[in-house]
Amino acid sequence: MKLEGKIAVVTGGSRGIGFATCKKLASEGATIIITDICDSEKAAPAIKELEDMGAKAKFYQSDVSDFASATETVNAIIEEFGGLDILVNNAGIVRDKLILKMDEQDFDAVININLKGTYNMIKATYKHFMKQRSGRIISLASVVGIMGNAGQANYSASKAGIIGLTKSVAKELGARNVTVNAIAPGYIVTDMTDALSDKAKEAIDSGIPMKRRGTPEDVANAICFLASDDASYITGEVLRVDGGMAM
Ligand code: NAP
């Protein structure tokens, strides 16, 4: 198993891509800590599924957009588990609207959770990673952070910001053997993308070279690769997992 003995934190890990990532990392031997804004009752089935797989797993309720909450949670995790090896910044939201209708709250909410939340978690963990002289930080960007997308100015800006943040922190932490990478998924089947009509989904599929939407497992596999020793000389990378959508 590639991640035996490793301790992984996955923000927003109770469902969607985050939960698929937890299962994949657990299948490679990692201890899993899910942090999520939902309460422990809602996260309980995810923890149970991980434990049923034989993994050690724990849930912490935490809002990534709240700096104090992110810091307290990370400190508590490091104290309880005696370390931290892998941080997956997965928590994210959308508030899709054309810029004409997008108000300040729509913009701020998406930036605060997606971009500031990623900064908060990196800020809360980087001293630990520097001291440890090893670590993996993997953040969920998106192909729309590369291409832009009408109706997603807030979301695209947050994801483009994550790409800049990733490359900058990769330069700062490289000498400490800490790799910092981003994953840019295309169109992945989760609750986040479920709201579109079947017609819109078919139109999206036809524009993807591989002619299908991705699964959370497609993304989780790439995250697991970046978290493993197989990717120990890869940093500052933005890995598209998009069936060729953003080529
Ligand atoms: P999802 O199914 O909507 O899940 C998002 C998770 O984030 C949920 O568990 C949610 O908690 C949690 N969350 C939301 N706000 C939070 C906060 N303030 N603090 C902590 N946790 C919070 O989303 P997904 O589709 O799996 O997406 C996961 C990541 O991949 C996101 O960053 C997203 O932008 C990115 N991504 C997704 C796609 C796609 O096509 N699905 C494409 C590109 C990038 P609750 O359950 O309590 O709401």
Percent with pLDDT over 90 in the chain: 95
Least confident of 13-27, 102-116, 193-207: 193-207
Judged by phi (left if over 0) then psi (alpha if -120 to 50, else beta), residue 138 lies in beta
Neighbouring C-beta atoms of residue 76, cutoff 10 Å: 13
User: Could you give the C-alpha distances from 30 to 64, 70, 80, 174, 215, in angstroms and in order?
Assistant: 22, 21, 15, 23, 22
Q: What average pLDDT score do residues 76-104 get?
A: 98
The separation between the first and the last C-alpha atoms of the chain, rounded to the nearest angstrom, is 33
Catalytic pick from 60, 119, 126, 155? 155
* Separation CA 230–CA 132 (nearest Å): 19
Look at residue 40 in the predicted model and tell me its pLDDT. Answer: 98
Q: Pick the atom of ligand 1 nearest to 219's CA.
A: 30
The β-bridge relationship of strands 178-185 and 57-61 is unpaired
CB of 190 shorter than 6 A to ligand 1: yes
The response to whether residue 170 sits with its C-beta less than 6 Å from ligand 1 reads no
User: In angstroms, what is the span from residue 143 Cα to ligand 1's centroid?
Assistant: 15
Those residues whose C-beta lies under 8 Å from the C-beta of residue 185, and which sit 6 or more positions away, are: 17, 140, 142, 143, 214, 218, 219, 240, 241, 242
Mutate to test the pocket of ligand 1, among 62, 88, 192 (most ligand atoms within 8 A of CB): 192
pLDDT of residue 195: 85
User: What is the tens place of the pLDDT at every residue in 142-172?
Assistant: 999 999 999 999 999 999 999 999 999 999 9
Q: Is the pLDDT of residue 191 over 90?
A: yes
Task: For ligand 1, say whether the CB of 65 is within 6 Å of any of its atoms.
Answer: yes
pLDDT at 196 over 90: no
Residue 97: other Cβ atoms inside 10 A = 15
| Cα gap 89→158, rounded to integer Å | 13
